[in-house]
Amino acid sequence: MEVIKLGPGFAAEIRGVGMAEVAADEAVYTAVRAVFEEHSVLVFRRQPITDELQLAYSKRFGPLETAKAASRGEGTQFSILTNVEPDGSLVKPGHKEELRARANQLWHTDSCFKIPPALASVLSARTIPTHGGETEFVSMRNTWQRLSPELRARLDGACAWHDYAHSRGKIAPHLASERERSVMPPVSWRMRWRNPVNGRDALYIASHTYAIDGLSREDSLRLIDELTALATQPEQIYQHRWQAGDVVMWDNRATMHRGRPWPEDQPRYMIRTTITATDADGLAGMWPQRSAA
């Protein structure tokens, strides 16, 4: 196995082993898992991807999430991100899937609004546009290190609130349906996720984050905006330009990502599986600390 570094202090391509070997072989899985813990974003090129292979690979890393209420793939372990209708036509501007794609273009980590949240996401390119539609990543470990010591100490004990409806509301007021709101109420987590394998800390925020305990709503939103701006400075970004057969896996504990726009007259079809975090992934340390009443 060869590990080729890609981004500014994180992200790596794996060569020499493919996803099928990870799925089939415990020793290969262990080696790739170590690269995942170290580099946060893994790129596999030219994979013979099928739904079965994506499932078998993803399940190695832990239990899988069921796709969100009211999203394509609801009730299955596949989240489908596309502008292609089931009949093969492309969605019109203003269509729910187009609005969702725009919400995915806000910097975020997946499923911080869920209990439990996500360890990792595995995204496979099934149909890609000729240009545009890249996915960009930043390291929230690097971000943590770039905070001032004072701010780091403050955030170390802080808790923040996450709500799917908050990020959707930035795109269109009713993009999160009543049903989505009722099955995904706001949740809170610690703002610092410590990786139990290497002890490295990451700032845990996203487009979904709307409040920080102890701060007014206005001050919370201002701080979240400042932290997001710090995290996503251009030189901190790894941009993945998709090629046919690419699969990218990222650590939702330690990165943020966003999609980029693509020409609306071109199809893009991506399938994501999402791995749920467990206590062994450091989730045990993420529950909000509430002072006794």
Binding residues (CB under 6 A) for ligand OGA: these are 81, 104, 110, 121, 123, 135, 257, 259, 270, 272
SS (H, E, C) the chain: CEEEECCCCCCEEEECCCHHHHHHCHHHHHHHHHHHHHHCEEEECCCCCCHHHHHHHHHHCCCECCCCCCCCCCCCCCEEEECECCCCCECCCCCHHHHHHHHCCCCECCCCCCCCCEEEEEEEEEECCCCCCCEEEEEHHHHHHHCCHHHHHHHHCCEEEECHHHHHHCCCCCCCCHHHHHHCCCEEEECEEECCCCCCEEECCCCCEEEECCCCHHHHHHHHHHHHHHHCCHHHCEEECCCCCCEEEEECCCEEEEECCCCCCCCCEEEEEEEECCHHHCHHHCCCCCCCC
Shortest Å, Cβ 104 to ligand OGA: 4
- Closest CB to ligand OGA among residues 101, 223: 101
Does 136 help bind Mn ion (rule: CB under 5 A)?
Answer: no
User: Which does residue 256 bind out of Mn ion, ligand OGA, none, counting CB within 5 to 8 angstroms by kind?
Assistant: none
Query: Does 116 sit behind a cis peptide bond, omega within 30 degrees of 0 on the bond before it?
Result: yes
Does 251 help bind Mn ion (rule: CB under 5 A)?
Answer: no
Nearest residue to ligand OGA, scored by beta-carbon proximity: 259
Nearest residue to Mn ion, scored by beta-carbon proximity: 110
| Buried-state track 93-112, b at ≥16 Cβ within 10 A, e below 16 | eeeebebbbbbbbbbbbbbb
Interface with Mn ion: number of residues (CB under 5 A): 1
- Closest CB to ligand OGA among residues 159, 256: 256
Shortest Å, Cβ 43 to ligand OGA: 13
- Closest CB to ligand OGA among residues 91, 212: 91
Does 65 help bind Mn ion (rule: CB under 5 A)?
Answer: no
Given candidates 65, 97, 110, 201, which one binds Mn ion under the rule CB under 5 A? Answer: 110
User: Which does residue 109 bind out of ligand OGA, Mn ion, none, counting CB within 5 to 8 angstroms by kind?
Assistant: none
- Closest CB to ligand OGA among residues 119, 123: 123
Shortest Å, Cβ 108 to ligand OGA: 7
- Find the part of the chain contacting Mn ion (CB under 5 A) among 1-9, 104-112, 173-181, 216-224: 104-112
Shortest Å, Cβ 272 to ligand OGA: 4
- Closest CB to ligand OGA among residues 68, 194: 68
β pairing state of 135-139 and 255-259: antiparallel
- Closest CB to Mn ion among residues 123, 223: 123
Shortest Å, Cβ 250 to ligand OGA: 8
- Closest CB to Mn ion among residues 110, 246: 110
Interface with Mn ion (CB under 5 A): 110
